[in-house]
Chains A and B, each alone.
Chain A
Amino acid sequence: MSASIRESLRGLPGPFFGDYGGRFMPESLIAAIDELAAAYEQAKADPDFQAELAELHRSYTGRPSIVTEVPRFADHAGGARIFLKREDLNHTGSHKINNVLGQALLTRRIGKTRVIAETGAGQHGVATATAAALFGLDCTIYMGEVDTQRQALNVARMRLLGAEVISVTTGSRTLKDAINEAYREWVTSVETTNYIFGTAAGPHPFPAMVRDFQSVIGEEAREQLLTHLGRLPDAVVACVGGGSNAIGIFDAFLDDAGVALYGIEAAGDGVDTEKHAASIERGRPGILHGARSYLLQDEDGQTIESHSISAGLDYPGVGPEHAFLADIGRASYLPATDAEAMEALRLLSRTEGIIPAIESAHALAGALRIGRELGPEGVILVNLSGRGDKDVATAGRWFDLFDDGAVQS
């Protein structure tokens, strides 16, 4: 469906966003995906479902999340005012819970008793394990072996919550292959099992559904800034791996022509090296995990392994709505390297007493650059999508913070 004949860019229904998206999936999974899409359409229009989700947000997640102005951090960004949307303060420590609670309610609605999920940094896995505990569902999480090592704390959290964590040892042993393995498992167990997908990518209905569940971020933040400042921000900035936190904060601003939207991709060692995860900047359209979107791939269409210090952004694809927004110029996508992100992480920690997730630190690195362009009159809203507790070991090694001989996780 063409966006140009709609009055609004908000809430595009899929399956296609311009040329991107779709549902390129094995026939074995089509019945389950159709069932999920139909159940979601019903739930979206059901006031009882929406009320139950809103109540969970209020009494379990702790929504609305607050907005915090960070002036000492902003001193390093040309004096622009910077506001953080504090998704890091949600129960379980990131925006992932917003989507998971919605999909867990859907799981109950379609009568399935078990959930599976993929996870990169472990935040989506922790959120899914949490919802499974809350709703009494069996839960299995697929996580690449590389990620189980660099995010060992989250592996323990998931197991503590009662989930089974399966370390995926095939392919690149990161998020991409965790998704492959979750699909394989889903084909086998689809009669009893729902797949709670963690980002706004994959086959329809996931990109639209995950965006809808995450759009609470932007709706709250837009209202909070209007109340607090009496105006909208000049720029909204978020990190982009698959892109769920970004589309979640972008959606409410899509029709505000004066608000620039920036997605920050993980540039790893740099986009001119072979080690990055900047799918929009350096990829080209292709099909992976059920949708057409920008993709890091070689000439033959073989997927190229991505690289990022951040497990949550270490993905060679990106959600199809981001590909569409990039093509039509409504959002801009910029790279931030591992080093830039880690500097921004340390800067926010030292100037404001907030330790962000390494994923979110990419957005902060982008905001520092955008702020210098906007100057002192500028107002920037950054989605602080997660907290950095899980990343302390990585940061400790990066900045050499451990005493010699100390036990490191």
Chain B
Amino acid sequence: MSGVADALGSGALIGYLPIGFPDLETSIDAAVALVDNGVDALELGLPYTDPVMDGLAIQKATQQAIEAGFRVRDVFRAVEAVRSRVDAPVLVMTYWNPVVQYGVARFADALRDAGGAGLITPDITPDSADDWIAESDRTGLDRVFLAAPSSTDARLAETVAASRGFVYAVSTMGITGARADLDAKARALVARLREAGATGTDTISACVGVGISTPEQVAEVLGYADGAIVGSALVTALADGGVAGVARLASALSHGK
């Protein structure tokens, strides 16, 4: 499987970890451990100096990865290594400038050749992504754009139409990071995305991310959305407990499915 849509069949758990944290090999082992413990699809983060949508947990981890010598080319190595060990789709989450500097076409080719499923792009929107839309069409990669509680109906329709794989519904008006209570806005946003055409795996799915950290929250989200995305909590578990720690959390989270 290359695209992410097949993995979303009956309510998917999607796990995020940054590449190169705490080092490249451990980040690969940790990603594999997620899938071994019930995570259905992976979102591997490309560490970037100016992550404006990320809270402190991910900022600290990605800054450490950069200081430890992370290079953009490591992304393809990591994706290839993970794909050779587990059969789950691997998306890369990246801010846009590193892709532009690598060359959008060259990046798309390398990601496809490594067995990657596509990109999640938090700091560009479909109306600023002509080159990426063209290159993802050419290479068949998925392109996951974000939708926010503040998005107008017209923009949600545009985002649904432009996305492939799934639409990333941001649960709250805020940045990444664990939250005790999920915002009611998440459910309302998914309902609006359904209205805009994201009706599920036969068309395009709607997955919810930002603020999800417990099995109960995963279960709650999968009650109305096609996927639940967990990021900061996994990063913190990796930082505190290593690969074993992040495996334990993934296993616990997967009981929310």
List residues of chain A with CB under 8 Å of any chain B CB.
22-32, 170-171, 176-177, 180, 183-184, 187-191, 286-289, 295, 297, 299-303
Using CB atoms, name the residue of chain B closest to A302: B49
Does B48 have its Cβ within 8 Å of any Cβ on chain A?
yes
A187 and B49 contacting across the interface, CB-CB below 8 Å:
no
C-alpha gap A183/B174 in the complex (Å): 10
The verdict on A300 contacting B123 (CB below 8 Å), with A188-B175, A190-B173, A287-B97 known, is: no
State the main secondary structure of chain A at its contact with B: mixed
Would you give the shortest CB distance from A304 to chain B, in whole angstroms? Answer: 8
Does B147 have its Cβ within 8 Å of any Cβ on chain A?
yes
The verdict on A27 contacting B145 (CB below 8 Å), with A171-B50, A300-B98 known, is: yes
List residues of chain B with CB within 8 A of the CB of A29.
150
The verdict on A190 contacting B150 (CB below 8 Å), with A23-B128, A176-B50, A184-B175 known, is: yes
C-alpha gap A189/B174 in the complex (Å): 8
List residues of chain B with CB within 8 A of the CB of A27.
125, 145-148, 150-151, 155, 159, 170
Using CB atoms, name the residue of chain B closest to A299: B101
List residues of chain B with CB within 8 A of the CB of A189.
173
List residues of chain A with CB within 8 A of the CB of B56.
170
B155 and A297 contacting across the interface, CB-CB below 8 Å:
no
16 contacts between A and B (CB under 8 A): A23-B127, A23-B128, A24-B124, A27-B146, A27-B147, A28-B148, A31-B150, A31-B151, A176-B50, A189-B173, A286-B101, A288-B50, A300-B71, A301-B97, A301-B100, A301-B102
Beyond the given pairs A187-B174, A288-B50, A300-B72, 13 more chain A to chain B contacts, judged by CB atoms under 8 angstroms and listed by A's residue number, are: A25-B123, A26-B122, A27-B125, A27-B150, A28-B149, A31-B148, A31-B152, A32-B150, A170-B56, A286-B100, A297-B97, A300-B71, A302-B48
The verdict on A28 contacting B123 (CB below 8 Å), with A287-B100, A299-B101 known, is: no
Does B53 have its Cβ within 8 Å of any Cβ on chain A?
yes
List residues of chain B with CB within 8 A of the CB of A176.
50
The verdict on A180 contacting B123 (CB below 8 Å), with A190-B173, A302-B98 known, is: no
Does B26 have its Cβ within 8 Å of any Cβ on chain A?
no
List residues of chain A with CB within 8 A of the CB of B98.
300-302
List residues of chain B with CB within 8 A of the CB of A288.
50, 97
C-alpha gap A177/B50 in the complex (Å): 8
List residues of chain A with CB within 8 A of the CB of B96.
24, 287
C-alpha gap A336/B116 in the complex (Å): 46
Would you give the shortest CB distance from A362 to chain B, in whole angstroms? Answer: 25
C-alpha gap A111/B48 in the complex (Å): 35
- Which 4 residue pairs across A and B have the least CB separation, nearest first? A301-B101, A28-B148, A301-B98, A31-B150
List residues of chain B with CB under 8 Å of any chain A CB.
48-53, 55-56, 59, 63, 66, 71-72, 96-102, 122-125, 127-128, 145-152, 155, 159, 170, 173-175
Would you give the shortest CB distance from A375 to chain B, in whole angstroms? Answer: 43
Would you give the shortest CB distance from A169 to chain B, in whole angstroms? Answer: 10
The verdict on A303 contacting B50 (CB below 8 Å), with A22-B128, A28-B150 known, is: yes
The verdict on A28 contacting B146 (CB below 8 Å), with A288-B50, A302-B66 known, is: yes
List residues of chain B with CB within 8 A of the CB of A286.
97, 100-101
Using CB atoms, name the residue of chain A closest to B47: A302
C-alpha gap A28/B176 in the complex (Å): 12
List residues of chain B with CB within 8 A of the CB of A302.
48-49, 66, 98
List residues of chain A with CB within 8 A of the CB of B174.
187-188
B170 and A28 contacting across the interface, CB-CB below 8 Å:
yes
Would you give the shortest CB distance from B247 to chain A, in whole angstroms? Answer: 29
A25 and B151 contacting across the interface, CB-CB below 8 Å:
no
A303 and B146 contacting across the interface, CB-CB below 8 Å:
no
C-alpha gap A286/B97 in the complex (Å): 6
- Kindly identify which residue among A26, A287, A300 contacts B146, using a CB–CB cutoff of 8 Å: A26
Using CB atoms, name the residue of chain A closest to B101: A301
Would you give the shortest CB distance from B181 to chain A, in whole angstroms? Answer: 15
List residues of chain B with CB within 8 A of the CB of A26.
52-53, 122-123, 125, 146, 148
C-alpha gap A344/B148 in the complex (Å): 50
C-alpha gap A299/B101 in the complex (Å): 7
Using CB atoms, name the residue of chain B closest to A304: B49
The verdict on A24 contacting B50 (CB below 8 Å), with A170-B59, A171-B63, A286-B101 known, is: no
List residues of chain A with CB within 8 A of the CB of B170.
27-28
C-alpha gap A299/B63 in the complex (Å): 17
Would you give the shortest CB distance from B214 to chain A, in whole angstroms? Answer: 21
Using CB atoms, name the residue of chain B closest to A181: B52
List residues of chain A with CB within 8 A of the CB of B102.
300-301
C-alpha gap A171/B50 in the complex (Å): 8
Would you give the shortest CB distance from A242 to chain B, in whole angstroms? Answer: 15
C-alpha gap A409/B68 in the complex (Å): 36
